[in-house]
Amino acid sequence: MQSRIAFQLGQSVAPALRRTALAASTTKLAGALAFQHAQSLFSQPGSLRLYSDAKYRTIKVPHMADSITEGTLKSWAKLVGEQVEQDEEVASIETDKVDIPVNSPVGGVIRELLAKEEDTVVVGQDLFKIEEGATAEGGAAPSAPKAAEPTPSEPVATPKKSEPAAPAAPAAQPVAAPKEAPVKESKPAASASPVLFGTAERSERRVKMNRMRLRISERLKQSQNTAASLTTFNEIDMSNLIDLRKTYKDDVLKTHGVKLGYMGAFVKASTHALQAVPEVNASIDGDHLVYYDYCDVSVAVATPKGLVTPVLRNTERMSIVDVEQEIANLGKKARDNKITVEDMAGGTFTISNGGVFGSLYGTPIINMPQAAILGMHAIKERPVVVNGKIEIRPMMYVALSYDHRIIDGREAVTFLVKLKEVIEDPRRLLLSV
């Protein structure tokens, strides 16, 4: 009896055991096949890579300057998936002074951008991720294929225009006797499109101020609110300086590779005057006056984004040609948007040349915390009295805006007189008189 029960139990359990064993073997076989397939995929050249083993690196917003802690992300030069070389620019951050390029410290492929354009980013913030040493897959996108052009041997079939069918002749109709049109009073024809004055289309645009323009606005208003600003004027006969430039400009260009302009002479003349009148080369720090024994002259340069003032350092040690070379270098950097914060840091005196734009007369605003700024203007021929006779001379108005808290009227006028003497007789620079 017991053996019969065991036999029946075995008969009922055996199919289930067979099914379980079959499922297990099927699963094992599928796993082995999947492993072999994956192994064959990753062994092929150009196949998928295991990014879990890739060397990722997170690049942060770099240190920009001691006084700059944040900026606006203006543009991405590289996008996700693009190749980047070491020290190649990836992004540009706009600050209130200059645009800071963000370069990649390593070569590789951009994998993730962690900020959007126009976002405010702070120093030390994660900016993008790069896979170090990787190569972009697929290379540059192929250009769209051009439409096949017919070869000269293949005549181009031009479709003939279908000529309209001639209209059918109208059926003969009886000719009606002409009727006389009623005579109406003639009136002038009304204009088809009358001109309505004052209805021209008018529009306006709103453009967000960039950080540099906001900073310029803030500093100019600060200057107006802080300094006891006053402006004094003088005029300069430019005849001798113009003759000097005409005589030696070709030699200077050939020898030094720089064009001889007027800014070099004005910087040196201003340096001469600053050393003669030290109150102009000073600033206020709390309840102290700071007098500088060196002359760092800021030169205003117009750029598409606003006015920048790179600094010529230690101009008391420079010649006119040295000044011209440094102005050319800084001007090129400013126009190419390559100027740095260090190029504009400091400065004890500023020169602004509105004459290059045709300005005849103006009152420049002091570049705080400096004590004064010189404004140059356009050279115009005017009748002047020379040795009791009226002569036509090339003349320039110059203006000195100064902080009356530091500089009195006597010092301001003396400064412009010293400047005028050197420009009208450049030989004084050789004798330091």
Choosing from 119, 251, 408, 425, which is the catalytic residue?
Answer: 408
Radius of gyration of the chain (CA): 41
343 among known catalytic residues = no
Per the CB < 8 A criterion, the answer to whether 301 and 310 are in contact is yes
Per the CB < 8 A criterion, the answer to whether 397 and 374 are in contact is no
Choosing from 119, 336, 404, 425, which is the catalytic residue?
Answer: 404
Per the CB < 8 A criterion, the answer to whether 132 and 72 are in contact is no
17 vs 9: CA distance, rounded Å = 12
Per the CB < 8 A criterion, the answer to whether 341 and 68 are in contact is yes
The alpha carbon of 351 is separated from its chain's Cα centroid by a whole number of angstroms, namely 23
404 among known catalytic residues = yes
133 vs 56: CA distance, rounded Å = 9
In this structure, which amino acid lies at residue 284? I
268 vs 425: CA distance, rounded Å = 13
273 vs 132: CA distance, rounded Å = 56
Examine residue 369 and say whether the peptide bond preceding it is cis (omega within 30 degrees of 0). yes
Q: Which residues are catalytic?
A: 404, 408
